Copies of this chain bind each other. A is one copy, B any other.
Amino acid sequence: MKEIIALLRRHGIQATPQRIAIAECVLKADAHPTADAVWEAVKRAHPTVSRATVYNTLHLFCERNMIKSQILKEGIAVFDRNTGPHHHFIDEGTGEIIDIPWESLEVIGEESLQGFEIREYQVVIRGRKKTG
């Protein structure tokens, strides 16, 4: 709670009850919520928050590099508290998104691609999480 406020301050964001609630939700470990999922969650504590506030706040967080938005699913953006480079696994059954640590995979050959100025890259894996 105190840390969240400090974190917001550190990113030049004025702390408000709504923003704190949104930050708490989206910074939860291993969460990749959609904007609407954040809205639903935040509404439990702040029943009056508007969708617009949630969207605006998430964009603000992205601009300030607190979180990153990822386009991995059909037509919807999900938010990722992990702003460093990492890969993603997408469960095609459940839609669940799982971070894969950067060191788990190695990509070879990207430096030798001609004609591209690479800013970032990631491996996107689709399949199913093994049950059990």
Residues of A within 8 A of B (CB): 71-77, 89, 92, 100, 104-110, 112-113, 115-130
Contacts and interface: CB of A to CB of B under 8 A. Distances in A.
A129 B104 CA distance: 28
Contact of A120 (B71, B75, B110, B127): B127
A127 B117 contact: yes
B109 A106 contact: yes
Given A106-B107, A116-B127, 10 more contacts: A71-B71, A71-B72, A75-B77, A92-B119, A104-B113, A105-B110, A116-B130, A117-B130, A121-B123, A124-B124
A125 B130 contact: no
Contacts of A119: 92, 126-128
